[in-house]
Amino acid sequence: MTPMSHANPETPGWVVSVRLEPPSLQNNAADADRLGLALQHQLRAACIHMDLSLVAQLPPLFRQANYHVRCVLFRDQDAWVLVHVAPQKQPEILAGLAVDLGTTRVVLRLVDLEKRIILAETAFDNPQVEIGPDILVRIHHADQPGGLAALQQKIVHGINTHVAELCRTCGLNTRRLHLISVAGNTAMSHLLAGIPVHWMIREPYIPAANRFGLIPADHIGLLAAPNARVWIFPGVGSYFGGDLVAGIIHTRMHRSREPVLLVDVGTNAEVVLGNREWLMACAGAAGPALEGGVTRMGTTAGPGVVDRVRIDPHSAAFEIHTIDDLPPRGICGSGIIDLAAQMFLAGMIDIRGKFRPERFPKRFTTENGMHHVTVVPAEQAANGQALCVSQADMDSLVRSKAAMYTILETITGSMGLTLEEIKRFLVAGTFGAFIDPGAAVTIGMLPDLPLACFQPVGNTSLAGATLALFSRDAVAEAAAVRDGITYMELNVNQDFMNRFSAAKFIPHTDKRRFPSVVAPVSPTA
Amino acid sequence: MTPMSHANPETPGWVVSVRLEPPSLQNNAADADRLGLALQHQLRAACIHMDLSLVAQLPPLFRQANYHVRCVLFRDQDAWVLVHVAPQKQPEILAGLAVDLGTTRVVLRLVDLEKRIILAETAFDNPQVEIGPDILVRIHHADQPGGLAALQQKIVHGINTHVAELCRTCGLNTRRLHLISVAGNTAMSHLLAGIPVHWMIREPYIPAANRFGLIPADHIGLLAAPNARVWIFPGVGSYFGGDLVAGIIHTRMHRSREPVLLVDVGTNAEVVLGNREWLMACAGAAGPALEGGVTRMGTTAGPGVVDRVRIDPHSAAFEIHTIDDLPPRGICGSGIIDLAAQMFLAGMIDIRGKFRPERFPKRFTTENGMHHVTVVPAEQAANGQALCVSQADMDSLVRSKAAMYTILETITGSMGLTLEEIKRFLVAGTFGAFIDPGAAVTIGMLPDLPLACFQPVGNTSLAGATLALFSRDAVAEAAAVRDGITYMELNVNQDFMNRFSAAKFIPHTDKRRFPSVVAPVSPTA
């Protein structure tokens, strides 16, 4: 995460200290107007909105605080909203909540808006999974009577439960939460806001909103201070949500002189290419080839999950690594990529990804007529069941890697660039955290760039959501980034299917693109 | 009301018709963004805010309405808010409510925002009178636990009850009310908004707010459409409220080339002098001389109340006129002014306003040592009780008329003008509706201008509140007018008390100021 900084202390944040001139017969502006005008002047804002219930607090508060106060504000487009006022000399923490609103997993981060530090963090499975593991199922569920409300209620209840616990660990009341920033995909953002998703998945794929404005937390039902606001990162369209805008903001690729590629593999594979002058984006779900998804394979990365595999090409001895070095209980996506790369280099799969049981027959089994490769024998596995990967899993990986490579090729090609011209290749999410770029290059999922080009950038949604709470500039830039992104619809792209077919070989039909991938050991042995 | 027009059909109103381009793969903006951008373009607005619950309605509505809709908006300062969207071809009335929020009386006017016509009107006594007839009592009551909430609840309940009835008479549901504009004095505006009034009446007299922004109707508890907004006319200070700003807007004095005087005698006497370049204001309550109030005397104008008196200077025969020609049951302020003028001209009071029972002893009685003049003998009165005016009432009138004249003299003098230079003199309210300007000139309450200069302008608060619902320009002008008013504190003015003493004679110590007032008949007879 080295080159991506969090809030620069020089950048203005959302907490502003104001010393007001006390009223007199000569200066008899009303309390709310006095503060509003001072803030307008200090922030160069055209007008400052404040809720009536906040106005009602000002007269006694000003006199108690001797007209020296701290204000929590937020700005969305041209609208500034004052959400809280506290005496300057009161040691009350002004807190905020950053939310990475994932389809399967939700991460909450509690922050101090004034000191701009992270206080605590927690994560939980999206409770909407009970209704549907997959976003499409949830979108269909929303069409049923009460369905949308039920989905909203589940996620709101989930966040409320976990934020209450998170606050408790920090000795805070949830009424200290003044700002909540949310980075999620377009469907999840809609489901949190409780707005219809019906037309999102029907041509021409129109969301209800791409910009959500500043939402009073109580309109959604989120636990927070009485005048707290929720800001949902704006999205670009049904298949390009605020989570990616948050990622762009966090990685600062929109300020880079050289073109940068950002790949986020969550439920979909989403790719942004750009620099400080332009931003081009596309998402895997838009391509029919990605049906089945990149990350459908394997177990979610976690303790005891196989994330690394080494195969001795001569003995076929498997050396595995698990997260936290616990007994193996599953294989995650990056483990399968590693496995595929190592099997390819050991000649155990051919260039189409088909198993070659003749190479080391002892590693293979057949079940219902389908070949499986044994990664961990039963006696070494955590639950006494052998960990296997089937030919179907491998076929799925090949389709996924082909889709990923094709997306990368298509997006760079659309800008007149080749993949070799990309000097910074950012890989977000758990995929980025665990993947071995070398293995991904070997199977032709990622382009054959020097390995130093690949940088894991972690949970960019969460980092972007945090940044929105720390930096006014970040929020302004998010709006500008959103407006400046060109979204490329892959399913209307004619070349895509041809390129996809060529990429369904390991590493590729055109081997010159992967000079670093050495030919597998005795492919015909 | 001749020269003051209501909404000019050329002025833009708050209902805007929008025909959106239907979405396509090429034009795939989100529904809310599609409408927001179209409105921004049509209205030249920087951004349009809309509540989430309104966003949620848009997707099905657009498809049902074939992307042709009517929008109800409002703008306060730089902030545009979209409050309702309806299909273009649906015969649904888009209604609004104008409120004249008086301390003693409240008037409601139901309007059609689109056709810009008045649908119905009703009036009722301010239910806060139960807590205190006088605004000061209410302000003190607000300091008690639950006091402010009780006051707010009373007026909200009163408005809700009467608006429901008003809507019923028009066959409308209150959920058709999208905009509510309110013109009230500063204290009443605060009590409706439920914000503290404690510091308003304590030096340096600071209200909680002079600008109230756009308040969601449900924040106050007013019955209306789900996303309806309440706009309260901005005030200038504790003693100069939004009702007067509404009055200025209605009379268009802020657009006049020549200086215009506007006098509104409600609970206080409030005066505005100005033209299109400047506006100067002061209020009677700020002057200690007005303690007791201009309108404390007499009965509220209404059916059966004496509003006109003629006295034959030779026979002392009284000829009275009552409102609606009903049997006399009281005397209103304008009746007392008429009485004083006629008594002065008949030599029945001297230049200090003291009764001269020696002139026509039969018209006078004495009770507890105080002289009374009999206006209507018992046998002619509605309830069999003689209608009398006491010396104390007359003394009070003399103080009031002196205060009024002094205020007028002070405000014009402060701008380097004399009262004779004022060519348009507007008299608002019931005071303006019933007063005989000639009588008021005779006693020296109003300056001795040609009678054609005086114009009754009716309920300017209600008219201004109505105009705010009909004309975008009117609302923008209200903000500019508010910002441009100079408020003169009378109680810090050194000359005021000297002028006041000189004005406590009928018509004035300086008779040259009232050339049209002929000397009373045989003052010494």
Last residue of a domain, one of A355, A373, A396: A396
Q: How far is B61 from chain A (nearest CA, A)?
A: 11
**How many separate helices (H) and strands (E) can be counted in chain A?**
15, 22
Note whether B307 and B323 are within 8 A (CB).
yes
- Cβ contacts of B58 on chain A, cutoff 8 Å: 208
CATH number at residue A108: 3.30.420.480
Q: Give the pLDDT confidence of A9-39 residue by residue, as tens digits.
A: 568 999 999 999 999 988 989 999 999 999 9
Indicate the angle between helix axes B472-484 and B460-470, nearest 10 degrees.
130
Tell me, yes or no, whether A5 lies in a domain: no
Nearest to A204 among B28, B213, B238 (CB): B28
CA distance B344 to B354: 10
Tell me, yes or no, whether B297 lies in a domain: no
Q: Which pLDDT score is estimated for B8?
A: 56
- B288 and B218, same structural domain? no
Is B241 within 8 Å of chain A by CB? no
Q: Is the pLDDT reported for residue A156 higher than 50?
A: yes
B510: exposed, middle or buried (Cβ count in 10 Å: 0-12, 13-18, 19+): exposed
CATH number at residue A59: 3.10.20.880
Nearest to B47 among A32, A77, A193 (CB): A77
Interface predicted TM-score (ipTM) of this complex, two decimals: 0.89
Is B52 within 8 Å of chain A by CB? yes
B220/A196 touch (CB, cutoff 8 Å), yes or no: no
Q: What range defines the domain where residue B73 resides?
A: 15-87
CA distance A111 to A52: 27
Q: Which pLDDT score is estimated for B288?
A: 35
- Cβ contacts of A31 on chain B, cutoff 8 Å: 199, 206-209
Q: How far is A207 from chain B (nearest CA, A)?
A: 5
pLDDT > 90 fraction of chain A, expressed in percent and rounded: 75
Last residue of a domain, one of A232, A257, A272: A232
Q: Which pLDDT score is estimated for B491?
A: 63
Q: Which pLDDT score is estimated for A492?
A: 54
Q: For tokens 């009551």, what's the residue?
A: B141
- Cβ contacts of B25 on chain A, cutoff 8 Å: 203-205, 489, 492
- B227 and B130, same structural domain? yes
- Beta-bridge mates of residue A455: A426
Is A32 within 8 Å of chain B by CB? yes
Q: Give the pLDDT confidence of A326-335 residue by residue, as tens digits.
A: 999 988 888 8
CATH number at residue A256: 3.30.420
- A386 and A354, same structural domain? yes
Size of interface A-B (CB pairs under 8 A): 146
Of A154, A434, A456, A478, nearest in space to A321 by CA: A434
Q: For tokens 């800001």, what's the residue?
A: A231
Tell me, yes or no, whether A355 lies in a domain: yes
CA distance B298 to B307: 10
Residue window 10-29, chain A: list those with CB within 8 Å of chain B.
Answer: 23-25, 28-29
What sections of B170-253 are H helices per DSSP?
186-193, 217-220, 242-251
Which token pair is B475?
């609302």
User: Each residue's pLDDT tens digit in chain B (525 positions)?
Assistant: 333 344 455 689 999 999 999 999 889 899 999 999 999 999 999 889 999 999 999 999 999 999 999 999 999 888 899 999 999 998 899 999 999 999 999 999 999 999 999 999 999 999 999 999 889 999 999 999 999 999 999 999 999 999 999 999 999 999 999 999 999 999 999 999 999 999 999 989 999 999 999 999 999 999 999 999 999 999 999 988 999 999 999 999 999 999 999 998 766 778 999 999 999 998 764 333 333 344 445 667 788 989 899 999 999 999 999 999 999 998 888 888 999 999 999 999 999 999 999 989 999 999 999 999 999 999 999 989 899 999 988 988 898 888 889 989 999 999 999 999 999 999 998 778 888 999 999 999 999 999 999 999 999 999 999 999 999 999 999 999 999 999 887 765 667 888 888 999 999 999 999 999 986 655 444
Q: How far is residue B353 CA from its own chain's centroid?
A: 30
Which token pair is A199?
């037309």
Is B193 within 8 Å of chain A by CB? yes
**What is the pLDDT confidence band of residue A225, given thresholds at 50, 70 and 90?**
very high
Q: Which of A31, A81, A186, A220 has the most B C-beta neighbours within 10 Å, making it the best mutation to test the interface with B? A: A31
Which token pair is B443?
């006693």
B53 SS3 class:
helix
Length of chain B: 525
Of B342, B299, B300, nearest in space to B320 by CA: B342
A195/B23 touch (CB, cutoff 8 Å), yes or no: no
- A407 and A287, same structural domain? yes
B194/A56 touch (CB, cutoff 8 Å), yes or no: yes
**Strand B15-19 versus strand A485-487 pairing type:** unpaired
Q: Which residue has the higher pLDDT, B297 or A465?
A: A465
Nearest to A206 among B31, B49, B204 (CB): B31
Tell me, yes or no, whether B460 lies in a domain: yes
Q: How far is B414 from chain A (nearest CA, A)?
A: 17
Q: Which amino acid is at A114?
A: E
CA distance B66 to B58: 12
- Total domains in chain B come to 4
Note whether A199 and A478 are within 8 A (CB).
no
**Residue of chain B minimizing CA distance to A63:** B199
Residue window 470-509, chain B: list those with CB within 8 Å of chain A.
Answer: 489, 492
Q: Which amino acid is at B395?
A: D
Of A105, A42, A40, nearest in space to A78 by CA: A40
- Beta-bridge mates of residue A122: A108
**Residue of chain A minimizing CA distance to B491:** A25
Tell me, yes or no, whether B372 lies in a domain: yes
Note whether B181 and B99 are within 8 A (CB).
yes
Side-chain-side CA neighbours of A184 within 13 Å: the count stands at 29
Is B45 within 8 Å of chain A by CB? no
- B420 and B283, same structural domain? yes
Phi, psi (rounded to 5 degrees) for A163: -75, -35
CA distances from B484 to A102, B199, B256, B275, B493 (A): 52, 24, 15, 11, 21
B204/A50 touch (CB, cutoff 8 Å), yes or no: no
- Cβ contacts of B208 on chain A, cutoff 8 Å: 30-32, 55-56, 58-59
- B207 and B111, same structural domain? yes
Taking CA A96 as the corner, what is the angle to CA A92 and CA A98, rounded to the nearest 5 degrees? 160
- A155 and A26, same structural domain? no
B25/A489 touch (CB, cutoff 8 Å), yes or no: yes
B52/A198 touch (CB, cutoff 8 Å), yes or no: no
Neighbours of B42 (CB within 10 A): 12
**Residue of chain B minimizing CA distance to A191:** B56
Neighbours of A308 (CB within 10 A): 17
Is A208 within 8 Å of chain B by CB? yes
Q: Is the pLDDT reported for residue A1 higher than 80?
A: no
Neighbours of A121 (CB within 10 A): 15
Q: Which pLDDT score is estimated for B7?
A: 47
pLDDT > 70 fraction of chain A, expressed in percent and rounded: 93
Q: Give the pLDDT confidence of A274-288 residue by residue, as tens digits.
A: 999 999 998 764 333
Tell me, yes or no, whether A519 lies in a domain: no
Tell me, yes or no, whether B242 lies in a domain: no
Of A388, A391, A309, A299, nearest in space to A345 by CA: A309
Of B490, B326, B342, nearest in space to B408 by CA: B490
Tell me, yes or no, whether B477 lies in a domain: yes
CA distance A438 to A298: 20
- A190 and A136, same structural domain? yes
A209/B55 touch (CB, cutoff 8 Å), yes or no: yes
Note whether A493 and A288 are within 8 A (CB).
no
For CA atoms A239, A243, A249, A250, give the dihedral sign. negative
- Cβ contacts of B198 on chain A, cutoff 8 Å: 59
Go through A63-73 and write b for each residue having 16 or more CB atoms within 10 A of its CB, e for each that does not: eebebebbbbb
- A432 and A496, same structural domain? yes
- Cβ contacts of A211 on chain B, cutoff 8 Å: 30, 32-33, 36
Nearest to A492 among B25, B30, B56 (CB): B25
**What is the pLDDT confidence band of residue A491, given thresholds at 50, 70 and 90?**
low
Length of chain A: 525
- A136 and A225, same structural domain? yes
B25/A208 touch (CB, cutoff 8 Å), yes or no: no
Nearest to B204 among A25, A46, A49 (CB): A25
Q: What is the mean pLDDT of residues A351-355?
A: 95
Nearest to B208 among A24, A56, A196 (CB): A56
Last residue of a domain, one of B87, B115, B138: B87
A522: exposed, middle or buried (Cβ count in 10 Å: 0-12, 13-18, 19+): exposed
pTM (two decimals)? 0.91
Nearest to B30 among A59, A78, A207 (CB): A207
Note whether B211 and A32 are within 8 A (CB).
yes
Is A31 within 8 Å of chain B by CB? yes
Q: Which pLDDT score is estimated for A53?
A: 97
Q: Which of B20, B55, B61, B203 has the most A C-beta neighbours within 10 Å, making it the best mutation to test the interface with A? A: B55
Of B249, B231, B272, nearest in space to B481 by CA: B249
CA distance A453 to B472: 57
- Cβ contacts of A206 on chain B, cutoff 8 Å: 23, 28-31, 59
Go through B355-381 and write b for each residue having 16 or more CB atoms within 10 A of its CB, e for each that does not: bbbebbeebbeeeeeebbbbbbeeeeb
- A327 and A338, same structural domain? yes
- Cβ contacts of B49 on chain A, cutoff 8 Å: 79, 213
- A435 and A348, same structural domain? no
Indicate the angle between helix axes B495-502 and B391-414, nearest 10 degrees.
130
